[in-house]
Amino acid sequence: MCNWLEAMEDANLALVSWIGGEFTVRFIRHFSIEGKELKSCDIERRDTNGKAQRFTLKRTFFFRPSAIQCAIRERNVFKRLHEAEITSPFLPTLYHSFMIGQTSSVLVLNLSSGKDLSDIVNAIGRINEYAVLFYVAEIMCALEKLHQLRIVHMDLKPENVILHPSGHIMLSDFDRSNDLSSENLMKSEWISFGGTEEFMAPEVVSKRTISTAADIWGLGIVTAVLACGILSPSKRSASGGCVYRTFNFKNLSESLQSFIRACLSPDYNMRPEIAQLKSHGFFRSVDWDEANSCKLVVPYDPFSILRGTKPVFHPTDAKILSIALDENPPFLIDSPRNEKPNEYSDLFPREFCDPANLSRAGITTSRIEELFADFDFVHRSFRDIFPKERGQNEDS
């Protein structure tokens, strides 16, 4: 194993070869516990004036056909937002998307603080009603932009509401999203009834229908988590949704209780849309122009919140750098039963990211090339670091 200086040099060279320009690795965060995906890697470059610009690099490995669908779905949502000129501080900006060989894809997005609403819940428990109002109002601003384009997030939960270094929110993880205007939804393999079961609307659990009302249900659950603390699913309702044990619900203001109940109507046709929810009494003090402009007072400094169980790896760890940035990352296959678990045990994939594995599921090399033919994208702010021949699918 090379030492960390050599690994760091190799990793930075890999970034240059993939993205172009003088990028360096800053932090590596959020491996999924299955080792299937590098959640995010903070990277940095200097502009012509020497000012540091930092971004998040998200890499997805193609272990299963579903990973391919998720990667394409997420990139297409970001591209659609860009083409529709939807701008919101609460939605990610796609700066660059590209493939690494035929086994993984990469998105370069806005930098986050590495913290999310689950960190607040874990560190503080239930939060005061102003803080609930602040976070829910900003989530609603983001959902309103998505729903205008008939995009359904589908996986709204505290872990997917990440915090900007300023303390404002940004929605993340659009790999389960559905673009209801997309022709791809006519193909059954592109319809996603996925998400996190505890936060899924009843009609999604039962695979009856998908609509923007699914996000309203998720909004209600997230609000309840913030206001009441971690919820405990107790059983399934007749309609298919989770029934939760909540604490302190009766201690909430009547307007907050009313808001949560409205979002959690079992009949999706009865759930209000975002425009209606903005007029709810719980938000009577909110100036929505100020909310959309990040002018509400931030209740918590994200850097004062403990990270909890989510590790942050500094780029001085050769093994982590290798997992994150090698074209063919290392794998742990059939480890001895008596091997003691260590800090890396959950980071190593236990199956090969090999096109041959996908071909057995009908995803051939030619099919991957076809699916990702227009995957490359370059935001205008990145054009200065690319040679002209690299300018595939640049924005205008």
Assigned CATH class of 4-113+309-390: alpha beta
What's the N-to-C CA distance of the chain in angstroms?
45
| Model pLDDT, residue 198 | 81
pTM, two decimals, is 0.83
Q: What is the pLDDT of residue 22?
A: 55
pLDDT of residue 42: 67
Tell me the fold of 115-304. Answer: Transferase(Phosphotransferase); domain 1 (1.10.510)
Pick out the chain residues at pLDDT < 50: 1-5, 7-8, 11-13, 16, 30-36, 186, 188, 235, 238, 308-309, 332-342, 344-345, 347-348, 387-391, 396
**What per-residue confidence (pLDDT) applies to 329?**
54
Q: How far is CA 342 from CA 34, 126, 339, 347, 351, in A?
A: 14, 33, 9, 10, 19
**To 10 degrees, the CA torsion angle through 263, 267, 270, 273?**
50
What residues does each domain of the chain span?
4-113+309-390, 115-304
Express each pLDDT in 198-256 by its tens digit.
888 999 888 888 999 999 999 999 999 999 987 665 545 545 555 555 667 889 999 99
At 260, list the tokens. 């949560």
Among 161, 156, 155, smallest CA distance to 134 is for 161
Nearest in space to 221 (alpha carbons), one of 248, 191, 197:
197
Verify whether residue 155 is a known catalytic residue. Answer: yes
Tokens coding 155: 């996986």
- Annotated active-site residue in 116, 155, 175, 179: 155
Per residue in 217-226, pLDDT (tens digit) is: 999 999 999 9
Question: What local confidence, expressed as pLDDT, does residue 101 receive?
Answer: 80
pLDDT of residue 244: 59
